[in-house]
Chains A and B, each alone.
Chain A
Amino acid sequence: MTRQTLLITDIAGYWGEKLAQHIPRDEWRVVGIDTRAPDLPDTADTFIKGNLSDADLTGILRREQVTAVCHLPRRPDVPATAKLLAACAATGVEQVVINSSTQVYGASATAPAHLPETYPLPRTAADPTTKLLRDIELLAASYRGALKVAILRMAHIVGATASGPLIALLSQRAPVMLMGFDPLTQVLHEGDAVGALAHAIATAADDTINIAANPPLPFSRIVALAGKIHLPVPHPVAYLRWRVETTNHLRRRTLPLHPDFLRFRLVADVSKMEDDFGFFPARTATEAVQSFAEHDYFRHLSPDQAARVKRVKQMQNAIAGDTE
């Protein structure tokens, strides 16, 4: 069977490596491009060292005979994405999969409780991430017709090994919450995020799809499931703090998320994911947060302590199993 060729951008990054491990190698040949080599040697069949902004993408795509591209940038980069899309359209690539986020909707008081993919994106946004994602999506959607473009708007990622703004917030000793607000929030397990990307490639999807685990959870419940007690902060103080942190580019941020996402609900409608896309996350929202909580608990322990706790848990599970 002739394998198709998949190009993964930023392959040495977390998502690039995970996706490359997930892709069935009997169907796909994986070509990776990044500024540094992946940690695992067999991540890509062919590794190309380079930067998207500087590399000869047209030449690479033609030479490797790429049929599908999965764009997984570490940070949203509009010029690099524009160059990649133009190169794909010029070289006859069949499909591009873009990893986006439900943050693209922005959080507001007037938004519907369940945001469909057709909901108009905000023209202005206080959060720079929202603006970047919107620009990338508009750019990608403009190439529909010339090639298939699958845009996956993923909910906040949680899990044992991934990173992201919600994980950064939950990793704090006392995650900040706005006093008097408890918005409904969606999450997605890191494994299901990779699964959604692989599913989009396998089904040659050509649509914008919300990807999230059910059910949406109140933010306080997410914090509680993560095993933390939240720190309530008056919302004017939170907005001021966020402005200070972003303006001064502080490394240590108490608010990795814009305060709007801690104030207003952001729930994407996942009926298209289930009915049309045919993808069902393997883990519920509760299970996703609990997987983070287990890892976070061990993160604060020494290796010996962690091993001891795991042994005790195994014994407890064994006893519980015998009792049942």
Chain B
Amino acid sequence: MSDQPRKQCAAITKKGTRCKNFALPNSDFCRLHQPKTTEPETPSADDLRAQLIEELDALADRIRAISPNYNPPPFSVRGAAKLVSRTLRAVVGKRPRLLSRLQNAIGSDLLDIDTWKGVWYMLNYTLEYQRDFLKRRITGEYETDEWGMDWEFAQAVQPFFDFLYKMYWRIATDGVENIPEDGHVLLVGDAAGQYPWIGAMVATAVATEHPAMRQVRSLYSSTFAGVPFFSIIFDKTGQAPANIENGEKLLTQDEVVAVYPTASATDGITWEDAARLAAITGAPIVPVAIIGVEGTDTAARVAAGDSTLPPSFAPWMSVLGQLPIPVQWTIAFGRPITDFPIDTAGSEVAATLTLAAEIKEAIAALRKQHLPQ
């Protein structure tokens, strides 16, 4: 308790008399008559509530003025909560999930400096590998085999074919284990007009699904040899032009050779050529049926008046019409044909024709077996 005597407030009241209250310590005035400061007064909660109600009333009056016939639904707490929740979802959307995902992703690993050192190392290594790859291409310091196959190029384009195989066409493969694990093999398939894609997908199927992951050498039609860029891609991925001599040489080298017989001998290999090839080399024949690939030929479907195609594949869009549609395929490999018929009269032509017919029958049976019911 202070020893100093309390002094009287020096303020004058409204009546004109001196204020009878005691002054605050270190001041000449009492609490009521303390001089006002320049800082703004913080509004109280009641003031704020009153201000909000006033603004909402003004907003309601404006709405009534604009739409006098509008009658809002009766108020309820539940309704209000639903409205707020719906509004928040529309405005904020997936951000909360995205935010939570980000928060989960930023784990302790990303805060570790060694993680970033590892990322830096991998980035540098990848860049250096790509730079070295390009440099060797420019200076010619890379290897190709006697057929022109460039392994590095083949590996570089393989992810694209894997994408087509697994994602675009979602190809189902059956019977790939019928291909022997080593030695020469002749795959004979029906191409149905989509040869480049079929050849690539059959090769991808064998490289991906076969236990030995064998490399398939397809014999491509001579038509493609004269088309820019096609022959480069075919040669560098290990394919060879379609003729008996190439097939025989490849089979002699114990390769897996795929042929897609045509009706015309000038275009490639006929069914009889395929049979003769197998008979000359003694290679087992694995019939290959490709089911569902006809649906990829947009040009053919448009020409046939297919109404299921989207309007973007109209006939006049001839370039886009050549792009294959992502329908689902099945590639079926049949049992190897190893017993080659020998005509008792000694006619090689008759034996060849018989074998060619047998191959066609085997493929037809495979197609029938795998057609959707």
Contact = CB atoms under 8 A, between A and B. Distances in A.
Contacts of B139: 224-225
A179 B228 contact: yes
A181 interface: yes
A264 B225 CA distance: 7
A321 interface: no
A272 to B, nearest CB: 14
What is the interface residue range for chain A against chain B?
20 to 34
Interface centre among A182, A225, A263 (most CB of B within 10 A): A182
Where chain A touches its partner, the secondary structure class is: loop
A109 B222 CA distance: 6
B330 interface: no
Contacts of A124: none
A113 B222 contact: no
Contacts of A257: none
Interface in B133-177: 137-140, 142, 144-148, 150
B189 to A, nearest CB: 21
Interface centre among B139, B145, B230, B241 (most CB of A within 10 A): B241
B147 A224 contact: no
B296 interface: no
A139 to B, nearest CB: 27
Contacts of A222: 140
Interface stretch (B86-94, B243-251, B344-352): B243-251
Contacts of B144: 184, 215, 217-218, 221
A112 interface: yes
Contacts of A223: 140
B23 to A, nearest CB: 98
B232 interface: yes
B243 A180 contact: no
A313 interface: no
A109 B147 contact: no
A113 B266 CA distance: 16
Contacts of B138: 224, 229
Contacts of B145: 215
Nearest to A232: B228
A144 interface: no
Interface residues of B, number: 30
A235 interface: yes
Contact of A109 (B146, B150, B225, B245): B225
Which of B140, B225, B230 has the most chain A CB atoms closer than 10 A to its own CB?
A: B140
B190 interface: no
A149 to B, nearest CB: 25
Contacts of A32: none
Contact of A181 (B140, B228, B266): B228
Contacts of B229: 180
B240 interface: yes
A110 B222 contact: yes
A184 B243 contact: no
A265 interface: yes
Nearest to A286: B140
A116 B248 CA distance: 13
Contacts of A289: 140
B142 to A, nearest CB: 7
Q: Considering residues B138, B142, B145, B148, which has the most beta carbons from chain A within 10 angstroms of its beta carbon?
A: B148
Contacts of A310: none
Contacts of A3: none
A180 B228 contact: yes
A296 B46 CA distance: 95
Given A215-B145, A224-B140, A113 B232 contact: no
B235 interface: yes
Given A181-B232, A235-B228, A112 B245 contact: yes
Interface of A: 109-114, 116, 178-184, 214-218, 220-225, 229, 234-235, 263-265, 267, 289
Interface of B: 137-140, 142, 144-148, 150, 222-223, 225-232, 235-236, 240-241, 243, 245-246, 249, 266
7 contacts: A109-B222, A109-B241, A184-B147, A184-B235, A220-B140, A222-B140, A224-B138
Given A217-B144, A221-B140, 9 more contacts: A110-B241, A112-B246, A113-B249, A182-B231, A184-B147, A215-B146, A225-B139, A263-B226, A264-B225
- The 5 A-B pairs of least Cβ separation, nearest first, read A180-B228, A224-B140, A112-B245, A109-B225, A225-B140
